[in-house]
Amino acid sequence: MMTAEELREPPPLPWRRVMYWLVRRELWEHRAIVAAPVIIAGVGMIGFLLSTIALPSALRAVARGDAGHRALVLGPYSFMALAVLLVGLLVAATYSLGALQGERRDRSLLFWKSLPVSDGMTVLSKAVVPILVTPVVTFAVVFAAQLLMLAWSTVVVVANGISPMTLWAQVKLDTMWLVLPYGLVINAFWQAPVYAWFLLVSAWSRRMPILWALGPFLAPALIEAMAFRTSHVGHFIVVRLMGGLAQAFSVGGKAQQAVDSVSQLDPGHILAEPDIWVGLLFAAGFLAAAAWLRRRREPN
């Protein structure tokens, strides 16, 4: 016969452990979160390997004072970071639009609801993926790819009788590796309401969530443009979708001069922007509504 101690329910797991396993589950089920940035980095690496044919001549030109060839040395590193970043943003948006709808469509919602995990915790774990996990994956892939690029470039220039110091003086990856994570954090804050809105639509819509997510904004923008020849709504859409990149990677957030020095970073100015904090309030509201909807929705 079982004792009272044996019949007692086990203590609940700490929320951090629950969140860890929920996020792990999302990564298991949506492998594109990691695979897509890695694949695009691999494709970019092929192009980079071909471009190193012209690297020795470009470095010699830079050493002679020809600044025009400097872009040939630095360009591949910036392009790699941009390509991986854009793919990461696309994956985050696609994931957010399908995260809650997908579990209703394949009826796995019934299984997950049988577990002792609240709807709020589940929705929060799905929000963590685009807001926190995707930027971490983006930086890790860019860091590894650029490190490999620098190592191969060093081999190429040494094989051509050029001092590697000439290359390292031009490729200042230490600055990029500080600016990039800073920018990813700022952009994550900025786009949090976008991902939260996508999750809310995913929790509500039965078909084609992208239309329901974008339609309420694109329709007024089209009406405004045709009726009044203005673009206030369209400007709002562009700023909310891409404004985080301008705030993060341009001096003063004005999208006029790219940040190329750590001294140009101004987190105090950016965090004082009311748009960020208002956006975070909307994000919290959207996530709460998504959890409420998930609690009441049935499989499609």
What does the pLDDT look like over 59-70, one tens digit per residue? 888 777 666 667
pLDDT tens profile 259-299: 777 777 777 777 788 888 999 999 999 999 999 988 876 66
The pLDDT value recorded for residue 69 is 66
Provide the b/e sequence for 248-269 (b: ≥16 CB within 10 Å).
bbbeebeeeeebeeeeebeeee
Identify whether 1 is part of a domain. Answer: no
Task: Read off the pLDDT of each residue in 218-230 and give the average, rounded to a whole number.
Answer: 88
Identify whether 185 is part of a domain. Answer: yes
pLDDT tens profile 229-254: 888 888 888 888 887 777 777 776 66
The pLDDT value recorded for residue 14 is 72
More reliable by pLDDT, 249 or 99: 99
Under 8 Å between Cβ of 195 and 93? yes
Q: Which helix (H) or strand (E) element contains residue 237?
A: helix 232-249
Identify whether 91 is part of a domain. Answer: yes
Identify whether 233 is part of a domain. Answer: yes
Separation CA 219–CA 159 (nearest Å): 59
What burial class does residue 90 get, using C-beta atoms within 10 Å of its C-beta: 0-12 exposed, 13-18 middle, 19+ buried? Answer: middle
Cβ neighbours of residue 275 under 8 Å, at least 6 residues apart? 190, 243
Domain total of the chain? 1
Identify whether 210 is part of a domain. Answer: yes
Structural domain of 140: 12-296
Identify whether 273 is part of a domain. Answer: yes
The pLDDT value recorded for residue 1 is 45
Under 8 Å between Cβ of 53 and 159? no
